[in-house]
Structure 1
Amino acid sequence: MTLTRGSFSYSNGEEYHGEWKEGKTEPLSLTRHPPSLPTPACTAHCCYHVISTTQRLRHGLGQLTFSDGTCYTGQFENGLFNGCGVLVFPDGSRYEGDFVQGKFQGAGVFTHFDGMKFEGEFRSGCVDGYGLLTLLDGGGGGGGGHEGLFETNQLMRRENSQAAVLRAQAAAAKARALAL
């Protein structure tokens, strides 16, 4: 496998800076899908999932800026966000943590522009696993937040999730350290 490092600007205004595999010529396909967080404030917020790439296959460490201002900095594998990364949206919302095949997966921290924050586990782009949801007012209905086991963006059971929160914070710090 040959890796090349450089920059590429697309005709639609998107830019990529980083590494890629040579010899691939697949079109960029960018899809929006519903938000991956359990609060009504997030319903208007879209997340992005990169399916394939233009010109060459993005692979390794890089930065991709979409024409709407959304910016991903982190690891790519075969054209997809994969590994550690930071995804920043134009409204100021951001996800820092693990990605698998273009989706939030593993440990991470999502901070919504309104101050809501989830620190914990994600699966297939959804809050799914143990974690802590903190609302702007610092509460979650009687304490420091909604803490426990989440399934598909819903709190299923309240319980201590400190280990998952610490893993999420560590994954977010590692992702931030990859900044170019």
Structure 2
Amino acid sequence: MSSREEGMNKHKKNKNKINNDVVVDVDVGEGDVIEGVEFYSNGDFYEGEFHGGRCSGSGVYHYFESGRYEGEWVDGKYDGYGIESWARGSKYKGCYKQGLRHGFGVYKFYTGDSYAGEWCNGQSHGVGVQACSDGSCYVGEFKFGVKHGLGCYHFRNGDRYAGEYFGDKIHGFGVYHFANGHYYEGSWHEGRRQGYGMYMFRNGDGRCGEWDAGNLKLSLPPQNDAIIRTVQAARKTAENAINLPRKDDHVNKAVIAANRAATAARVAAVKAVQNQMGGKFCDIDV
């Protein structure tokens, strides 16, 4: 999902390199927080609070022609809660740490796709919900931006899978239910039936045995020990995936906190502009 983020790579260097080029015309203590405006040579500008000459507290950062961030800052970086939005319509609400999405939050893409859940160092990582504009949906674990661990996927055609993922692919033990009533319980490898498993048709007939690249290689009776063990493992794994605790409450609280932080940032931005108009600050282009 991170591949579709707009403006982040283009502006990250400027965003994290905010320096102390705000000139103050009044006496300010070293530990005081002040409101000011700072402009940058690439067309970006910041309105909000400064501490020690760097963006700290609440403020709004405007990217030239591509979007803005409204929220909390620490030492020149997004840190805390905030809202980041892009010109094409994508938006993130949630928590940040040292300039990256970290904690809980919701990212809604302009395409209609979305991710709500845990983040780590700018990537979906932990438990989350990935919903796509085509109606498909994944609820489960992520690792470094891809589906990894236990999860449930509901496909747009009505199929559904519950089980293990590895590197964004169905991999391990799991149960796959087809929209036509058929289902498979068993082992998977990179999205294909691989190893032992049982395929059941809606009329009650079945095919059991060892599978290779999605095809039945060796037919075995349902009473075979390897089949029984594999089917039991697949069912248990699917049950664990279905019962995986969701993080909806944490996400909702993060969104509420982000909305509040964005409001505070807009208030600080207004004060910064008022100070500028009142002659308290001189802006220096960076």
Mapped pair 1:147 → 2:208 = yes
Aligned to 1:16: 115
Rounded Cα–Cα distance in structure 2 between residues aligned with 1:130 and 1:149: 4
Q: Which runs of 4+ in 1 moved over 3 A?
A: none
Aligned to 2:14: none
RMSD (CA atoms): 1.1
Rounded Cα–Cα distance in structure 2 between residues aligned with 1:82 and 1:148: 27
Aligned to 2:168: 102
Higher relative contact order (CA 8 A, sep 6+): 2
* Unaligned 5+ runs, structure 2: 1-96, 247-286
CA deviation after TM superposition for structure 1 residue 102, in Å? 0.4
Give the helix-richer structure, 1 or 2. Answer: 2
* Unaligned 5+ runs, structure 1: 23-55, 140-144
Aligned to 1:133: 199
TM-score normalised to structure 2 length? 0.48
Aligned to 2:137: 71
Mapped pair 1:158 → 2:219 = yes
Rounded Cα–Cα distance in structure 2 between residues aligned with 1:84 and 1:105: 10
Please state whether the residue corresponding to 1:90 is helix, strand or coil.
coil
Q: Which amino acid aligns with 2:117?
A: G
Q: Which has the larger radius of gyration?
A: 2
Aligned to 1:6: 105
Deviations 1:106-157 (A, max 9, x none): 0000111001100000001100010000011111xxxxx1011000111111
Mapped pair 1:122 → 2:188 = yes
Q: How many residues align?
A: 141
CA deviation after TM superposition for structure 1 residue 179, in Å? 5.5
TM-score normalised to structure 1 length? 0.76
| Counterpart contact for 1:73–1:179, Cα < 8 Å | no
